[in-house]
Structure 1
Amino acid sequence: MTDPNHPPHPSAPAARHVVFVTWKTGNAPAFEAAKRLGHHVTLIRSLLMEQAQNVDFDASPYARFVDRVHVLKDATDFAALRSCVLDVHRERPVDAFVATVDALVVPVARIAEEIGVPFTDAGAAEAAKQKNRCREILAAAGVDTTRHALVGGFEEAAAFADAAGYPVVVKPARGSGSEGAHVVADADRLAGVLAEAADDAYAAGILVEEYLEGRFLSAEIGLVHGRFLRLAVSERSTWDRHEALETGTTIPAGISAEEHDRVMRFAEEVVSAVGLRLGIFHVEVMLGTDGTPRLIELNPRIMGSCLPNLFRLAGGGDIFELLVRIHLNEPIERGPTVFDRYATVRWFGAADRVPAPERVPDLGWAAEEYGDSLHALTVRFPEGDTLPPCRGNLGNFGEVQVVHPDRATSIRIAEEVVGGMADRLGIEVTR
């Protein structure tokens, strides 16, 4: 019987040239997938971002899947990236680009258009990342009418909040990873947030939005040859002390078939209205108490962190292989994903600024207690004597992954492991 998550694909064509632009070692399975499919793999790295995020690419097992590596000082430097890509393209024509990092999708899209390689539309990707522009496009199309305003400071933000009603959400007009995002309950807190806002985080502007209530979900959808591929709806968790901070995900979401269809249809309408044309996209959605989906954020790239691995653990198949095939613009016949397990991740960091523990405590207790349900538990403290308070995804120092046939059990085990780690560390963590 054919596995719906692993549809047969044609016999391997002649080797094609796939170029990855990323600083994430977690993308190594994508390199492996491209190599397994018989393609020539080039990787363009970004040294500054690897160092900033404490990534040691050289210690990862990626090398055996990559034919050629180019290390740039900063791949977000458009001129440097363009020069590198043009050299690569002259040496061996590029058939596909894969960019999985927010800051690199737009520059790669511009270069792809210049040399005629199919990729996500550059203008659409730019609109997706400029959050106020994305909201304007969706409002004009009648897809989503969430109230919002791009403001210059406190007075304009307060005027919006008075009209929309508190709480409101304040976030950088352009950004990712929940960095700089806040749910603000009153005018005093609004003044405090804007007074403390780092100029670099809000360089593209300050966006204030109405607060959305409901279930926080994300839709993962592919698009190739004008056809949508419905891959997954995930459910997200947040920290009650700082609601803008995501603390984890479970794949698939515990929602009804009708709610699943409604979220997927909304995600397709969002992607279509903005004009994204090729790739796998991560669409964050609030499913309101009235059943209406509203957009939180549109990301013109595949879901990040360990979520592709959660997709596989839950029984969804190899999403990285699918990503490579989509960016090679192959015709793909694939029905909705059928999951047979629930995969949960919980991330955690310091709730408040505290001295850094001298060492990572023994982690073996979790495996002894939870057995095969525990897929992974990692703790890695940043350099320095202090753990800063975690207020964005980059502030996490720990991660637990759990897989179980029962949704509630999967979530419970993940949360219990985080609690156990807090007890052993002797500090409060985000959870």
Structure 2
Amino acid sequence: MTHPQDRSGRPDGPKHVVFVTWKAGNAPAFEAAKRLGHHVTLVRSLAMEQSQNVDFDASPYARFVDRVHVLEDATDPGALRECVLAVHARRPIDGFVATVDALVVPVARIAEEIGVPFTDARAAETAKQKNRCREVLAAAGVDTTRHAVVGGFREAAAFAAATGYPVVVKPARGSGSEGAHVVADEERLREVLHRAGDGDAYAAGVLVEEYLSGRFLSAEIGLARGRFLRLAVSERSTWHRHEALETGTTIPAGIGADEHDRVMEFAEAVVGALGLRLGVFHVEVMLGEDGTPRLIEVNPRIMGSCLPNLFTLAGGGDIFELLVRVHLDEEIEPAAPAFSRYATVRWFGAAELTPKPARVPDLGWAAEYGDSLHAFTVRFPDGDVLLPCRGNLGNFGEVQVVHPDRETSIRIAEDIVGRTADLLGIEVTR
């Protein structure tokens, strides 16, 4: 029996999809691949699961996966390559899905080596090296945000003197808002630059950028066979005491049609200028008061955390099925999602160093919000204290709300965070 072939020359029928991730929350993507009739292989990364308190074995992923490979550290390029080549030799791979920043580039390089469609490796590397990304976009005339990689305080202060305070200081390469600061004056700049030598966050360099003001949004877009798929514009919230810390998202954003199109056109220009080629991408944008979109950063992977789930809750459809189809290089007709609700998440952690509460309080009171409350979790990390939350990994609580009215969706989520903080008796990021 013969099968028709797709444009890659592989038989058109059940495919072999390889997921490389340490996120247990990607189980719906595994399920989508199985529902589409494909063979699913999962490559896990034990070191990252442990560092982020991920209990993969407690998740419902197993029944959707045909074969699992557990690496000690999937970010080790040699170990990952050896594993993937062995998988490919046993059963040829038709598509990869990598959903975390640290794995997109290694997977892209391996995909190019064995001839499997995936996001362009060089473009993904450029996207993650933030100063290089800005250089490429400036050369293409897409975005001209002023920036500089600095060697220390004097260079950073000279940049700030030329652009004016505040400025943004961030790792030249990184994610999750870790190590990012909005700096209001020279004294604070000196303090941040002094601390930049501690730890690994700034190993790739210190990037200083002009401060962008306006509405903080993100564009979720796909690119399949040269055609853009406009998925959603989301609105983001930040903590007023540390603007670099994201505290939540609402999908879709409460903006007009013209603003929506402007943001999407800008995101497409960013992805096109970088040459990312194939994938579902998360492009963070500041929409200025004059209506001009400016880039905050571009992530060459699907939006993280619970945001794919919010997309579905809001009525956008199954984004994980779309993700699988895109990475199998299928022909996909562009169609705008018809959102019927607003889905909001709020994350929270300790505002300052504080003793860890003896226990998680009873959260049963949240049932009064009825069907609007989709999920509510509070889980403290190990140890006797709660460290100040200054990045996405520092959160200990999450609330997901869905409601037909945008303002009500946001209000309920924020009410729940506030009531939880009062019960705990501590100040939280919100």
Place the TM-score, normalised by the shorter chain, in its bin. over 0.9
Alignment of 1:278-317 (within 5 A): 278-317=278-317
SS in 1 for 2:338: coil
Match of 1:206 in 2: 206
Alignment of 1:31-430 (within 5 A): 31-197=30-196, 198-368=198-368, 370-430=369-429
Q: Which amino acid aligns with 1:326?
A: V
Structure 2 Cα separation of the partners of residues 16 and 338 of structure 1: 29
Q: CA deviation at 1:334?
A: 2.9
Q: Which amino acid aligns with 1:144?
A: D
Structure 1 Cα separation of the partners of residues 358 and 63 of structure 2: 35
Q: What's the CA shift string for 1:343-380, capped at 9, x where partnerless?
A: 00000000001011111111111112x11100010011
Structure 1 Cα separation of the partners of residues 424 and 334 of structure 2: 45
Q: CA deviation at 1:13?
A: 5.1
Structure 2 Cα separation of the partners of residues 307 and 152 of structure 1: 36
SS in 1 for 2:69: strand
Which stretches in structure 2 are left out of the alignment for 5+ residues?
1-10
Does 2:41 match 1:20? Answer: no
Structure 1 Cα separation of the partners of residues 416 and 134 of structure 2: 38
Structure 2 Cα separation of the partners of residues 83 and 365 of structure 1: 51
Q: Which amino acid aligns with 1:76?
A: T
Q: What's the CA shift string for 1:120-156, capped at 9, x where partnerless?
A: 0000000000000000000000000000000011010
Of 395-404 and 195-204, more deviation after overlay is shown by 195-204
Q: What's the CA shift string for 1:256-276, capped at 9, x where partnerless?
A: 000000000000000000110
Q: CA deviation at 1:219?
A: 0.1
Structure 2 Cα separation of the partners of residues 61 and 364 of structure 1: 25
Q: CA deviation at 1:194?
A: 1.0
Q: Which amino acid aligns with 2:260?
A: H
CA contact (8 A) 2:95 2:116 kept: yes
After TM superposition, the runs of 4+ consecutive aligned structure 1 residues lying more than 4 A away are none
Structure 1 Cα separation of the partners of residues 105 and 73 of structure 2: 15
RMSD across aligned C-alpha pairs, in angstroms?
0.8
CA contact (8 A) 2:228 2:334 kept: no
Which stretches in structure 1 are left out of the alignment for 5+ residues?
1-11
Q: CA deviation at 1:15?
A: 1.2
Q: CA deviation at 1:53?
A: 0.1
Q: Which amino acid aligns with 1:201?
A: A
Structure 2 Cα separation of the partners of residues 75 and 171 of structure 1: 25
Q: CA deviation at 1:107?
A: 0.2
Structure 2 Cα separation of the partners of residues 164 and 30 of structure 1: 44
Q: What's the CA shift string for 1:161-202, capped at 9, x where partnerless?
A: 000100000000000000000000000000001111224110
Structure 2 Cα separation of the partners of residues 367 and 274 of structure 1: 46
SS in 2 for 1:248: strand
Q: Which amino acid aligns with 2:110?
A: I
Structure 2 Cα separation of the partners of residues 338 and 138 of structure 1: 31
Match of 1:8 in 2: none
Q: CA deviation at 1:232?
A: 0.1
Q: Which amino acid aligns with 2:214?
A: G
TM-score, scaled relative to structure 1: 0.97
Q: Which amino acid aligns with 1:271?
A: V
Q: Which amino acid aligns with 1:63?
A: A
Structure 2 Cα separation of the partners of residues 150 and 92 of structure 1: 44
Match of 2:7 in 1: none
Match of 1:9 in 2: none
Structure 2 Cα separation of the partners of residues 13 and 357 of structure 1: 56
Q: Which amino acid aligns with 1:240?
A: H
Q: Would you say how many aligned residue pairs link Structure 1 and Structure 2?
A: 419
Give the fraction of aligned pairs with identical amino acids, expressed as a percent: 83
Structure 1 Cα separation of the partners of residues 267 and 128 of structure 2: 16
Q: Which amino acid aligns with 2:20?
A: V
Q: Which amino acid aligns with 2:216?
A: F
CA contact (8 A) 2:227 2:334 kept: no
Structure 2 Cα separation of the partners of residues 223 and 161 of structure 1: 37
Q: CA deviation at 1:283?
A: 0.1
Structure 1 Cα separation of the partners of residues 261 and 336 of structure 2: 10
Match of 2:8 in 1: none
SS in 2 for 1:61: coil
Match of 1:30 in 2: 29
Q: Which amino acid aligns with 1:365?
A: W
Q: Which amino acid aligns with 2:266?
A: F
TM-score, scaled relative to structure 2: 0.97
Q: CA deviation at 1:398?
A: 0.3
Match of 2:3 in 1: none
